[in-house]
Every structure is written in C-alpha cells, then in structure tokens.
Structure 1
Amino acid sequence: MWIKEVWNKIRKGVKAGMAAVKESTTLTDNKVVRLISDFESSTERKWMIIGDQYYQVDNDIKDRKITKKLANGQMVEETYKANNKLAHAKYKNQVDEKIAYLLSKPVTFKTETQDKNDSYIEAVKDILGKNFQYQLSSLGYEASNKGIGWLQVYINEAGELKTMVIPAEQCIPLWKDRTHTELDTMIRVFPTQVWEYDTRKTITNVEVWTEEGVTFYRLDGKLLILDYERSNDNGGPVAHYKSDGTWYSWGKVPFIPFKNNRIEKPDIKFVKTLVDGYDLSRSEAANYVEEVKNLIFVLKGYGGQDITEFMRRLNEDRAIPIDDPEDGGVDTLTPQMDITALREHYEQLKRDLIEDGQSVNKDLDKFGSAPSGVALKFMYSGLDLKCNLMETEFRMGFEMLLWFVDEYLKLTGRGDYTQIEMEIVFNRDAAMNEAEMIENCNNSKGTISDETVLAHHPFVSDVEDEMEKLAAQKEKTEPQWDKVPPVKVGEVDGEEE
C-alpha cells in the first residue's frame, strides 16, 4: 500500500515539475524583449553584419587612421602622412564564385519513378514558380555571408503558395533540439518607416511566429506593445493563412533554414584576418611608394622643434625655410626597404586566402593555359568541398519546403503526393576543357547510349530537345527511295482479298 502512495507522490511531483518547466519556457513580453536585446548584442549577429559589410568591400582598412601618442598621453591623427586604404574584393570574389558554381544553373527535380510522377514534378515547379532559382541564389548569398538563410512560406490573398527570403539579421530562432533541425518559435524584428503628419518616423516591428499562429507587436525602447488590429481578425486571433474566411495553422513554424554549413557560420569568419592582413600589406606598400619621395630628412640645428609641423610644411609647401645657413641645414637619406620581402608576404597571404577560403586556384604557372580534366578537378577541389557542405544543408532545407508544398497540394485538392520521394539535383557550372570532352564523347559512341553521350557533350544543354532535333535531321537526310512502303493487311499482289 505504501509503495502505491509513494508512486503517486512521485507522479504528482513529475507532473508539477513538467508544468513548471512549461511555464518557465512560455514566452512573455519581457522574455521577448530580453531575447531581442541578447540577439542584437550577440557575436552571431555581429558576424552577420561583418559578412554583409565585407561582401560590399567595406573592409576594416577603410577606417584606418595613422596616429601618434603625445607626451600627455593623448592620441592624435597624423594627417600629413600617406594613408592609403586599399580594400580588396577577395572575399566578395570567393562568395560570387561559390554561388555561380553551385546555384547559377537551374536545379533538377528528380523522383524514383520519373515517368509516373511527372505530374508531381510539374505541380512542384508550378507552385515554386520560375523565380525559385533566383530565390535559391539569394539564399546562397544569405547563408554564405551570414551563416544561415531564411525562407518564409505563406499563402497570399489569391490563395497561392508563395515564398520570401527574410534577412538573417532580422530572425531570432528558438529551436526545439540541440542540432537545430526543428523550430519551436521564430521572432522577427525589423524596422519600417511611417509618416506622422509631415515627419518620417522609424518604428521597430516584432513578429512572434509559433506552430499555431503569429502575434504582431511594436517595440518602443524596452516596451513591447501589442498590435491588436493585425493580431486579430473578426474578434479572434489570426493564424498562418486564411481560407474561405477562416484562419488555419500549418502545424509548423513557416520559416525554413538554409544553412551555410553544420555550424551555421559565415565564410568571412574563416578568412577575415587574412583579408585584413592583405589589405594592410598592400596599403603599406602604397604608403612607402608615396611617402615623401622615399627620402628621410636629416635636420641640422632643428632641435626642439616640432617635427610634425616640419613634415606638414614640407608636404604642403615643398620647401623648408632655414634662418641660419651656417648652423642649420637639411640633408636627405634614401631609405632601403625590402620590397621583395613585402611582396612575398602579401603573395603568401593571397595563397593562404585561396586555401583557407576554399576557392579556385588560378595559378596558370602550375596548370598551364588549357588545363586538362584532372588538373581542373584539382583546381576545383577546395571549392567542391565547400559546395558539398552547403549542398547537404540546402537539401535538408528543400525537404522542409517540400512538406509545405505537399500540404498545399492536399489543401487545394490537387492530389496527395506525400508518399513520393523527391530530391533536388544541383547542376554545377564547372569549367571544362571542351576539346577534351568532345573527344571523349566521340570515342564513347557505340560503347554507351547516344543519350548519355549527349548528356556529357559541352554544347548540349537540353538532351531531350537535342534527341528530337537529331531524329528530325536524320529523317530529312535519309533518301526516300530507300524506304520500303508499308503493306496493308489483306493486300495480295496489289489486290485486296
């Protein structure tokens, strides 16, 4: 008997504990404000801003100042000195190269039994629209520069399923699991401008998306104000989409992550110090060339004078007044700077950027002006590895997107395709040795099918269209007299039975 009593107490304690945990994880206004504040000051968001900044080639070198410390400890800028700020687009080129290689060519949708599921493929293409490839490229840039890209799914007023890319710096995801595969809540924070009479004012909008619906707020300082009109419709709360005057929920948070890699880090994190070092080295080389005609001045009888004033007057007037030519004077020395060592330093930085940034090695001294297939594979090995990681994450994102597409097809009565497996095939835009590929295609005829040969021919973009053109061409060129006319059933010696 006492065992049963103990067991009941344990069960009650567990239920109370679970209720307390649920209560502690429930989002309140104060918790939302705290989450927004923590995210805006987080290292994660900082790297998102840096990635976008460096993609626009607004490198840190542009903020560089040459300063000196005075006797009183004050730091002052030496504006008379050469201060070249050479910002290089190394990082931007790497991101463009990656997106162009992986996401510039149209993707292919593939099922196990292609012929039987053509209707499903066409339905998916129709729903995603012809701009889906553009959205994939936008997600690629978002993921590369910010570590993760977000695609929002919604149904518009016409009842059509649409998707929209949301800037990652506006999104605060709350995950259900440690591996970040399922969303519990999404908080979106973004500014908009409104007019109050003749004054333009910026307001901060907050959207809290859950599995059941969405609530709209405005953030005023640290005060979260409910937007009642947007959060309610006909006296009831809004959900995810509206159909026939009634609000419905997906049962999932309608935001889909497209990650750059498993750790959700932007590409800039791995190369920023190298880019900064390269900018600095090249800027210093430019400063050396420009600085006072490469001369060091030896001042005689100029003790106790302000050297800064001397250099300023020299740069502005290109002359030095000497009061007493017997006691004073100016001599010059030509400094010897090891330009070879400086050049080797930034050339090594360039090689490190290629290796650590996993970009294409375009060193023609190693591969020649027309590299072969093996050399091309070696040149693209780093880029292939980086794109493989992004492709894996994007496949997962596409699977999540496909769930919403399947649900929409069921909602609109266009069929239930949930049991059909579909995958997305990324067609990479790799450089190739065309002459070598054409030779290989010609040598393969008779060994493999013509369709396979055409699929690998560099001049063919649509295999089915090319097969039809070849068949039509063959029919035109074949002599008509060589064809045996068909014999009708029942005809014997030109007479019908």
Structure 2
Amino acid sequence: MITPQEIKAFLDTDKSSKTKQFARTGQRYYDGEHDIKKYRIFYYDADGNLQEDYTRSNIKIPHCFFTELADQTVQYLLSGKEKFVFSQIPALQAELDSYFNKNEDFISELNDVLTDAVVKGFGYLYAYKNAEGKLAFQCADSLDVVEVEGRFTSDGRDYYIYRYVQRKNLQGDVVARIEVFDDTQVTYYTQIADGLPQLDETAKPNPRPHVLYKKDNDDSTYWEGLGFIPFFRLDNNRKRISGLKPVKELIDDYDIMACGLSNNLQDLTEGIYVIKGYEGENLDELQLNIKTKKMVGVDSEGDVEIRTIEIPTEARKAKLELDEKSIYKFGMGFNSSQVGDGNITNIVIKSRYALLDMKCNKLEIRLKQFLRKILKVVLDEINQEQGTAYQQSDVCFRFTREILTNATDNAQMDLTKAQTKQTEVNTLLNLMSQAPTEQLRKDLCTLMDWDYDELKDKFPDNPEEALQTAQRALDEVQPSE
C-alpha cells in the first residue's frame, strides 16, 4: 500500500500538470467562463502612472461557441435511436440490452463521459456492483482522478486516486475525501487544505473490499474484489487534449471584437467633448463631470463643442464573421446559422456535416476501444453467473447518426426507387412469359420480398398458354346492353 506521503506527492504533481491545467480551462470555457471575464482597461494619468479605467464601458460577454461544439459532437455521435451493442446470439443480446442498450442509467453516464472527453481531453467511468449484484457504471470527474503507475510507487503496484471536496470546517479550510483504489480494495483518507492525508477513522472497514454483501438468512458479511481497478478512461485524442485547443484563441478574439464593438457603441453615442478656453488643471475631474453630471464650467470666452465620430462597425462585423467561420471550420462543427443560396438539398446538408462527421469518426474509434474494455468485465460477469463462454468476438458495436434531411428530396428518391423497382418487375414478367424458369421466379420473389417456398406451387406452368386461355374466356363474354 502506498504511504500518505506518496499520495500527497502524486496529488501535488497532478495538480500542476499541463494536461490537468488545460483540462480545467476546457471546463471553464464549457461553462461560459471565458478569459474576457478578466478583461481590464487601463490608461496613463497626467503624471504618467498606469491606472485602471473604471469610467469607460467594459462589457464582458462570453460567446459560448465551445459549449455548442462539444455538445454537437456528443449528441451527434449518440443521435441514433437504434441500439449500439449487437450480438447474433439472442440470449447474449438480451443480456447486453440490460447492461447497455436499454439501460438509461448507462446511456446517461456514457453521455457524461463523452462530454468530459471532448471538454477536458479525457473522461472516466467508475465500475461498481449495484443493489442487484450486477456491474453498473458512473461517470467520475476526470479532474479529480489521478492515475499512478506501479513503476512510481514504493510497492510496485498500480493505483487510482480519487480526490473530491466534501465540505469546509469551522476554520474555513477545505476538507477533501481521498479514495485510493487497487485491484482488490479501496482505502479512505481525509485531507485538510493541502496537508498530509490521514486515514479516515469514520470509514468502517478501512481498507474496504470492492464489494461487501450478505446472503439470505445469514448475518455474516461477505466480501470480494473485482479483480481490476474499477476505472475506465476514454481519451479525446492521443495527447488527451481538450477540443478547445484549436479554437481558444479564435473564441477569445471573437469575444474581444464583439465586446469592443459594444463598448464603442456605449461610450461614443454621446460624442467627444471639445472644451475651448478650459484653464483647469484636473482633466480627470473634467471627464468625471461630463460623464456623471452632464455639465462643465468654462470662462466667459470658453465654449463646449460636441463632435461625433463614425464607429467602424463594418470592419468589426467582417472580422466577427471571419472568426465565426474559422471557429466552426477548425473546431470541426456544424454552423446552423450558415446562409446558403436557398437550395438546401440533401447533398448540401451532408456537406455541411462533413467536418462534424470527420471528428465523430475519429472519436468513435476511441469510443469502441473504450467500450471493449468495459465489455470484457461485463462478459466475465455474465459467463460466471450463467455458466456460459461468451467471447468478445460474439459482440460488435455500431453507431448510427441522424441528420436533418430535405423532405422533397426524400420523396423524389422514394419515387425513383419505386419506378426502378416497377421496371425490374415488368422486365422479369416479360421474360417469364417468354421463357419461364425457376430462377426467374426466384428473382421475382426476391425483388418483391416474397417467400418463394410458399408461392412456387402457385406459379402457372405455361404462362403463355394461361394468357391465351384467359383471353378466349374474355372473348366469349357477351356484353350486356
């Protein structure tokens, strides 16, 4: 077991890592806390000293492009209404449905871990046994999880450390709970502020096995370890970098341009005051009087003239449009506000989803690898409980995505398909009238989605003769007057 000193060292190192620092930035931008919130305006006073300007407008409006880009990725990847875990073995499929496809709790947690992966660069699912004794999964905040490799520990074993804030004590210090997991048990600690972790005396037993349970009509407590560290990590990319990385500077520039335009409109609507004959010494006081009291005193020969200037809105609008286009391009997202030529066909719609499709394709590969790791422990549990020998090769993953489509295009496509099918049917019928063969009949049944074995006895032996007989019967009919 690792020592409290080791635990503190690992926590301190992780806290200062560049990966976690940018993960926090990604979470901050996802929550709308952009750098523009810290924007300050300064000026040099009459003595040449740098001062913060509290009189000018300093509008701080974050534009949450990253929130939209992240949610687009997750929701588009999981947009299919069909199940995503498949097996050709009916009994196994039923079990997989209960664990994955029809398990609303799992789908909700999968949504959260995908969001963590895109926003922070990586996300974790924590595995545990629920009240029914089955494996269940819960998203763990990736900012609170620390992975420790065995080569860095005193006992040579791998660990996962999960630290989260519980409360503040009477002195105002943060009290955190620390859980140290290995492949058989978890040990609980408490940490006050940045002090040395101490064993949690309120946790009984401590260390605690992964699973504690009781049997019917038995007061004894039984325990078992899962046999693996119950954390599974999903990476956004090879370097575990947040999806914010390619677009952060573009979003910051958009915030500055948009807020700068708002500040100009706020400050320059009343124009610039030109003071003639002013003999005062305090220009700061003059500026304050104009802004707050709307008046200023001058001598008998003085005058006040208000001049307005034209705000360069067109240049700012062009820059904002360029930034917005670049954000969706390099963020690989779908710009729903994009204006086209009015001819929105399915081809145009699919082309606008091209970048988002590309990004989701890359993430889907890592998601399938992630689910394979989870599937392994789920299959082990199913095989142990039911005495089966299911394998990974019995299961596959398939994600379908849904996009908006043009109803007119869809109707035209359906009409074209129907006409094509009708042409094929007519061709087969003409061939059958000339040279009836079993293969042509099978082809017709396949085309019409019929069961050939049920209909083969109902086909006429000689279609041409049957047609002539029918024609003669029609000729003998006397029309009624």
TM surpasses 0.5: yes
* One of 57, 61, 70 as aligned partner of 1:95: 70
Matched to 2:399, the amino acid is F
Question: Matched residue of 1:92: which SS?
Answer: helix
Residues 446 and 30 of structure 1: is their aligned pair in 2 closer, same or farther, counting only changes over 3 Å?
farther
Q: Say if 2:135 is the partner of 1:161.
A: yes
AA partner of residue 414 (structure 2): C
Q: Is the 8 A contact 2:77 2:399 kept in 1?
A: yes
- 2:254 maps to what in 1? 278
Aligned equivalents of 1:186, 1:422: Cα separation in 2:
29
Contact 1:108 1:424 in 2 (8 A): no
String of CA shifts for 1:380-427, please: whole Å, max 9, x gaps: 111111111211111111111111211221333363323543122222
| Contact preservation (8 Å) 1:274, 1:349 | yes
Contact 2:258 2:320 in 1 (8 A): yes
Query: How do residues 305-320 of structure 1 correspond to structure 2 at under 5 angstroms?
Result: 305-320=281-296
**2:30 is the alignment partner of 1:55:** yes
Among candidates 94, 101, 124, match of residue 122 of structure 1: 94
Correspondence for 1:380: 353
Shift of 1:75: 4.1
Aligned equivalent of 2:208, options 238, 250, 270: 238
Say whether 1:133 aligns with 2:107. Answer: yes
| Partner residue of 2:407 out of 434, 439, 445 | 434
- Is contact 2:127-2:230 (8 Å) kept? yes
> Match of 2:212, as an amino acid?
K
Equivalent of 2:266 in 272, 287, 290:
290
180, 185, 206: which one aligns with 2:159: 185
State the alpha-carbon separation in 2 of the partners of residues 59 and 232 from structure 1.
Answer: 44
Contact 2:268 2:309 in 1 (8 A): no
Q: Residue 359 of structure 1: CA displacement?
A: 0.9
Give the CA RMSD over aligned residues: 3.0
Letter in 2 for 1:319: M
Partner of 1:351: 325
- Mapped pair 1:39 → 2:23: no
Query: Contact 2:36 / 2:62 at 8 angstroms: preserved in 1?
Result: yes
Deviation at 1:295, TM superposition (A): 2.0
Distance 2:328 2:124 in 1: 28
Q: Cα offset for 1:194?
A: 7.7
From the CA coordinates, give the structure whose radius of gyration is larger.
2
Note the alpha carbon deviations across 1:433-454, whole angstroms, 9 max, x for none. Answer: 2322233234334878xxxxxx
Offset at residue 54 of structure 1 (A): 1.6
**Letter paired with 1:417:** Y
SS at match of 2:323: helix
Where does 1:135-154 land on structure 2 (aligned, <5 Å)?
Answer: 135-154=109-128
Paired position in structure 2 for 1:247: 223
Against the structure 1 CA distance between its residues 419 and 386, is the aligned structure 2 distance closer, same or farther, given a 3 Å change threshold?
closer
CA shift, 1:201, in A, is 7.4
Q: In structure 2, give the amino acid aligned to 1:418.
A: Q
Instruction: Give the Å deviation of 1:352.
Output: 0.9
Matches of 1:225 and 1:306, distance apart in 2: 61
Structure 1 contact 149–259 (Cα < 8 Å) conserved: yes
The structural deviation recorded for 1:88 is 1.2
1:267 matched to 2:240? The reply is no
- Measured against aligned partners, the alpha-carbon deviations of 1:34-68 in whole angstroms (never above 9, x if no partner) come to 11112222222222222222222222212222122
**CA positional deviation for 1:229:** 5.5
How far is the alpha carbon of 1:162 from its aligned partner?
1.4
Aligned residues: 410
1:264-296: CA deviation from partner (whole Å, max 9, x where unpaired): 111122211111110110111111112142522
- After superposition, the Cα gap between the structure-2 partners of 1:419 and 1:81, relative to the gap in structure 1 and judged at 3 Å, is closer
Alignment correspondent of 1:205: 177
1:58 alignment partner AA:
E
What's the counterpart of residue 469 of structure 2?
A: none
**Are the structure 2 counterparts of residues 191 and 247 from structure 1 closer, same or farther at C-alpha, using a change threshold of 3 Å?**
same
Match for 2:56 among 48, 70, 81? 81
Structure-2-length-normalised TM-score? 0.77
**SS of corresponding position for 2:305:** strand
Shift of 1:168: 0.9
User: How far apart are the structure 2 equivalents of 1:345 and 1:276?
Assistant: 13
Aligned to 2:439: none
Structure 1 pair 200–31 and aligned structure 2 pair: CA distance change class (3 A): closer
2:40 partner SS: coil
Q: Distance in 1 between matches of 2:198 and 2:332?
A: 47
Pick the aligned partner of 2:395 from 410, 417, 422: 422
CA distance in 1, matches of 2:279, 2:332: 55
Matches of 1:325 and 1:42, distance apart in 2: 67
Partner of 1:23: none
